[in-house]
Structure 1
Amino acid sequence: MANNTFSIKLTKNNTLPAAQAMLYATGLKEYDFNKAQVGIVSNWYEGNPCNMHLHIISNNIKSSIKKNGMVGFKFNTIGISDGMSMGTSGMRYSLPSRELIADSIESVVKTHHYDGLIGIPGCDKNIPGIVMAMLRLNRPSILVYGGSISSGYYNGKKLNIVSAFEALGEKNIGKITELEYKNIIKHACPGPGACGGMYTANTMASCLEAMGITIPYSSSSLANTSFKKKECINIGYYINNILKNNIKPLDIITYKSIKNAITLAIALGGSTNLVIHILAIAKTANLDLKLNEIKNINNNVPILANLKPSGDFLMEDIQSMGGIPIIIKYLLKEGYIEGDCLTVTGNTIKKNLENIPEISFKEKIIYPLLRPIKKNGHIRIIYGNIAPYGAVAKITGKEGDIFSGFAQVFNSENSANKAIIDKKIKEGDVIVIRYVGPRGGPGMPEMLKPTSYIMGANLSKKIALITDGRFSGGSHGFVVGHITPEAQNGGLIALIENGDIIIIDAIKNTITLKISKKEIKNRKKFLIAPPLRVNSGYLYKYTKTVSSAYNGCVTDM
């Protein structure tokens, strides 16, 4: 069965001769007009290691689709490098790019009447952007992750992208020389693939494998390996199968499968960006997922993975021990994963895992449930007068559970970074970076620079950092982000003054500004929101449509 439900509207419609003429021009023969057409979208571009190899993957997938009796049409959408834009004004475009990606894929697939879709993401926002488009379209779809990078190596140590950020802090305190600093930069990223730790890209890729929208091993197969090539060679079979059986994203991405995804991400010690993207995916799927539900899962799932940024290992080490399926199987066996969720293989999660080997704990990469790294999760959903609608903290336990300190307030990331580099931040300070939320940033930029500078300067256990912006998956330390309401919308974070006492309690999950209600009321009288930082272009349009962080920053509400 061809299952050309949508493409037939062009190929067999006698009133559309021009459309058919154009299809002949692409190289199609008359017999191809009876075949299903599959869009193959990648976020390929040359300027970023996470994405620079995706055109090779798309070529391999197109060949696989052809061999399985379908027509494949490649097209591109944008990608933005978080690592390259981090700490610059360009980072404001990172989260908004997720919406552009989803919008552009929806536009192409609906315009050209493709019957199915294969999405090939690389960097962080590519992944949820593609999935959101798949859910909007709800046509048979599979995600093929571009894969992570291999580790770099210098001076007897493995390196990754965060090594480069932290090296600057180490150089500034005289821990390493200028030559060592430059050599770390040169050797941190040896080739293609997304950043290698359990940062945002690998967190989201792992989530989507647990969710069932990728085939097994997609998230842990490295970019530049035979495993990734084999996945591409086989993908034509899988897309043909779900086309024939009309298995669609909304059959796969359900409330239950999203809970599986969150469970795996917490067990792996994943990025706090999980929260904002999972909320957006759930809303796109018309599922009523709340922050408190993420909080409840987090409270009942232990951290098992000794992975960077808080641990020692990378995705390449997960691959070497048998891949993400081994970990999912362990969580399924122990009752943490629901096994009856449908996947893009046409089988359930449980069925997919039947022939997967049992996990071994000898490498100390993954710890058993009886001896977890932490008894409950690290992604803390916290509330308080600073964040009445919620905030997100990443507390692994290594930082401590309670921090009380004096506010040092900055209205931009750059001013905070300068203060850290100039050694104006002292033990006991709580750095407050505000007006960097979805509207205030705009774009809620990630801030790996300040957290990396803090780590490099050996201040990670001595200070805290709070913000209405976001943190990179590579961030670690006593940090709280996603504070809502944001400063631009009049949130209490806008009223904090230098020297105010702030208490962060990761046991009670609270964040409190220690001033009286009377003082808050007095300060509000004089609060005037600054003008938006942009007044034209895409970011200006984004400020007019973006929802709050607790709604996933979607723009179609």
Structure 2
Amino acid sequence: MYLRSQEWFGRTGKDGFIYRAWMKNQGFPHHLFEGKPVIGICNTFSELTPCNAHFRDLAEAVKRGVWEAGGFPLEFPVMSLGECQMKPTTMLFRNLASMDVEESIRGNSMDAVVLLCGCDKTTPSLVMGACSVDLPTTVVSGGPMLAGKYKGRNIGTSDLWRFAEANKKGEMSQEEFVAAEACMARSQGHCAVMGTASTMAAMVESLGLALPDNATIPAADSRRKVLAHMAGMQAVELAKNNIRPSQILTRQAFENAIMVNAALGGSTNFIIHLTAIAGRMGVQLSIDDFDKLSAQIPLLANLQPSGEHFVEDLFYAGGLPAIIKELSQFLHNDAMTINGRTLGENCQTAECYNREVIASVAEPFKSESGVAILKGNLCPNGAVLKPSAATPELMQHTGRAVVFENIDDYKKRIDDPELDVDPTCVLVLKNVGPKGYPGMPEVGNMQLPAKVLAQGVHDMVRISDGRMSGTGFGTVVLHVSPEAAVGGNLALVQNGDLITLDVEKRLLHLHVEPEELAQRLTHFQPIDLGYERGYTRMYIHHVLQAHEGADFDFLQGSSGPVVKRDSH
């Protein structure tokens, strides 16, 4: 059995002395360095990342599993990305965190790694970094928080948008607003709805990188620690058998993840993150694959924001294994997973205990699944819409554009009584894409103008080159590519232009003649963001467009086998 860690700890002479001696100041006995698999525990614990604030306990559970299986656990921290705290947007730092993970794994003495992920970007960043090294890897998610309780009903993150709208209209007082915020996040864990965090947890389970039930066990449930313990044991087996991500993350695995996500009504952010992970693995995945593979899948999960229930309810109803089993006729059931069993074998005995939460393929919750990829002259490289969270009456719509040049322009004018807008208009927000903000923030589900809300309207067609929170909803077109900041046609839209959205035809069309667009392009001036140094400057110069996963151009493709760096 080859163990990479022995290139550090198995040496004789000066080098072995140096590698072992300083480690022994933590009280580790000598026999631990004599051929036990070293399991790195990559921890994104941070009090600035509330979703991951319980990860110290979770790491201890992983360690117990590693010790039981005969391994040697060593925990290390990496950059943590707290969605609700970090400015300007955690997406700006996803690629940086992935580089932190990649180099931490590559430069240290470990034979396998357990990734502790929770808040939205922590999962894709850790998986991207680990994939680039291709060391045996498994993932443990932090789990969803319990549903909030407010005035006798369940609430979750998706209700934030409803509360904000009600507060804006004067239907919810500031005192009630503050009371609700104290009721919503009442336990440890990430968002209770099928937002981006839970979507990412489901992604790693359906890819085969995590143990069954990883996606849905609530963070506060003791079974979350049991799963972490078992993952620690599994990591030792992965190290002994040298089972690497490249052996798990095949084209078939990515296709499975896309189909499972469609059935869940998962976050639109899934597309960008899965594309980036595929890019790291050298697996060819295009934005069109998401539409093609999702089109045949109905929506099975009745979960917010597309439905009414919460992720903990999904766990009680049978968890992700029950969803996967229900989809067996569509999936590659022979895809391998980290426990040595196929995806189909893992879910063979799964049962559904609540058809109100998990519908059947024969009688789905909604016939339209979670993702539609749009094309047209406004988005030649694609745009994304989530039909399951949209208003059916707006899925075919033509309206005049009300244009906001950037987020500051939007904030300044959206509630202006003089704004020339009505419910039939199309709100267009420019320069919030990967380069334009920079970092592609979650501002795509723009709050509606106050004068429209006052009419009792709750949805309008909204278009941007940005993203939206996985907890958001509405008829929102996102990820328009190419983005406005690089001269995409979105940059050329003017107030009053007619725009047609036709989801059935997968069309997003700007009713402006090509000659007129060409003329407008001659006046296009790239915005000067003023970043002359540091990481943000590097980001702007190297980030790819949304349809390519918004990764850095120089990080595409796996680095190949890990080689030890000997500096002594």
Task: Decide whether the 8 Å contact of 1:391 with 1:480 is kept in 2.
Answer: yes
Q: Deviations over 1:79-125 (max 9, x none)?
A: 2222345xxxx133x11322122211111121112100000011011
Task: Report matched runs for 1:42-81 at 5 Å.
Answer: 42-81=43-82
Distance 1:284 1:531 in 2: 30
- Aligned positions of 1:310-349 closer than 5 A: 310-332=306-328, 335-349=329-343
Structure 2 equivalent of residue 33 of structure 1: 33
**Alpha-carbon deviation of 1:448?**
6.5
Q: For 2:20 and 2:170, locate their aligned partners in 1 and report how far apart those are by CA, in whole Å.
A: 67
Alignment of 1:23 with 2:15, yes or no, is: no
Displacement of 1:286 in angstroms is 0.6
The whole-number CA distance in structure 1 between the counterparts of 2:48 and 2:365 is 37
Q: Tell me the distance in 2 between the aligned counterparts of 1:393 and 1:121.
A: 26
State the shift of 1:421 in Å: 4.1
Is 1:384–2:382 an aligned residue pair? no
Aligned-partner Cα distance in 2 for 1:184–1:552: 35
Gaps of 5+ in 2: 557-568
Instruction: Tell me the SS of whatever aligns to 2:22.
Output: helix
Residue 26 (structure 1) shift: 3.0
Distance 1:291 1:54, change over 3 A: same
Q: CA deviation at 1:247?
A: 1.3
| Percent identity over paired residues | 29
Tell me what 1:262 maps to. 258
Q: Which residue of 1 aligns with 2:477?
A: 480
Indicate the SS of the match to 1:241.
Answer: helix
Q: State the secondary structure of the residue aligned to 1:161.
A: coil
Question: Mapping of 1:442-521 within 5 angstroms?
Answer: 442-447=438-443, 450-451=446-447, 462-521=459-518
Amino acid at match of 1:366: I
Letter of the 1:346 counterpart: G
Cα distance in 2 between the residues matched to 1:31 and 1:443:
47
Are the structure 2 counterparts of residues 329 and 44 from structure 1 closer, same or farther at C-alpha, using a change threshold of 3 Å? same
User: For residues 354 and 123 of structure 2, what CA distance do their matches in structure 1 show?
Assistant: 30
Seen in structure 2, the aligned counterparts of structure 1 residues 532 and 414 have a Cα distance that, compared at 3 Å, is: closer
Partner of 1:431, secondary structure, is strand
C-alpha distance in 1 between matches for 2:81 and 2:415: 27
Q: Structure 1 residues 4 and 32, CA, compared in 2 at 3 Å: closer, same or farther? A: farther
Give, in whole Å, the separation in 2 of the partners of 1:337 and 1:91.
Answer: 38
Cα 1:466–1:459 change in 2 (3 A) is: farther
SS at match of 2:337: coil
Work out whether 1:218 is the aligned partner of 2:214: yes
Measure, in 2, the Cα distance between the counterparts of 1:365 and 1:164.
22
CA displacement at 1:366 relative to structure 2: 1.8
For the Cα contact (< 8 Å) 2:379–2:480, is it kept in 1?
Answer: yes
| Other structure's SS at 2:423 match | coil
Q: Report deviation, 1:213.
A: 0.3
Residues 68-107 of structure 1: pairs in structure 2 closer than 5 A: 68-85=69-86, 90-92=87-89, 94-107=90-103
CA distance in 1, matches of 2:291, 2:228: 36
Q: 2:126: which partner in 1?
A: 130
* Match of residue 159, structure 1, among 155, 162, 173: 155
Of the candidates 388, 392, 396, which is equivalent to residue 399 of structure 1? Answer: 392
Q: CA deviation at 1:161?
A: 2.1
Q: What secondary structure sits across from 1:83 in the alignment?
A: coil
> Structure 2: how far apart are the matches of 1:420 and 1:154?
30
What is the distance in 1 between the residues matched to 2:103 and 2:453? 44
Contact 1:420-1:453 at 8 Å conserved across structures: yes
8 Å CA contact 1:276, 1:550 repeated in 2: yes
Does 2:366 match 1:374?
yes
How many residues get paired? 546
Give the Cα separation in 2 of the matches to 1:458 and 1:97: 39
Cα–Cα, structure 1 residues 372 and 441, in superposed 2: closer, same or farther, change >3 Å?
A: same
Q: 1:460 to 1:70 in 2, by over 3 A?
A: farther
Deviation at 1:212, TM superposition (A): 0.8
Residue 13 (str. 1) matches residue 14 (str. 2): no
SS at the partner of 1:193?
coil
RMSD: 2.0
Output the CA distance in 2 between the equivalents of 1:412 and 1:110: 40
SS at match of 2:339: coil
Deviates more, 1:219-228 or 1:159-168: 159-168
**TM-fit CA distance, 1:377:** 2.3
Between the aligned partners of 2:324 and 2:457, the Cα distance in structure 1 is 32
CA contact (8 A) 2:448 2:459 kept: no
Change in Cα spacing, 1:129 to 1:460, as seen in structure 2 (3 Å) is farther
Structure 1 counterpart of 2:48, one-letter code: G
Deviation at 1:456, TM superposition (A): 7.4
Measure, in 2, the Cα distance between the counterparts of 1:453 and 1:228.
42
Check the 8 A contact 2:78/2:97 in 1, yes or no: yes
Counterpart of 2:352? 359
Q: How far apart are the structure 1 equivalents of 2:345 and 2:153?
A: 40
How far 1:152 sits from its partner (Å)? 1.0
Range that drifts further, 491-500 or 407-416: 407-416
- 1:430 matched to which residue of 2? 426
Aligned twin of 2:248: 252
Aligned to 1:172: 168
- The range that moved more, 26-35 or 53-62, is 26-35
How far 1:537 moved relative to its partner? 2.6
Superposition TM-score, scaled by structure 2 size: 0.92
Tell me if structure 1 keeps the 8 A contact 2:195–2:471.
Answer: yes
Contact 2:317/2:354 (<8 A) preserved: no
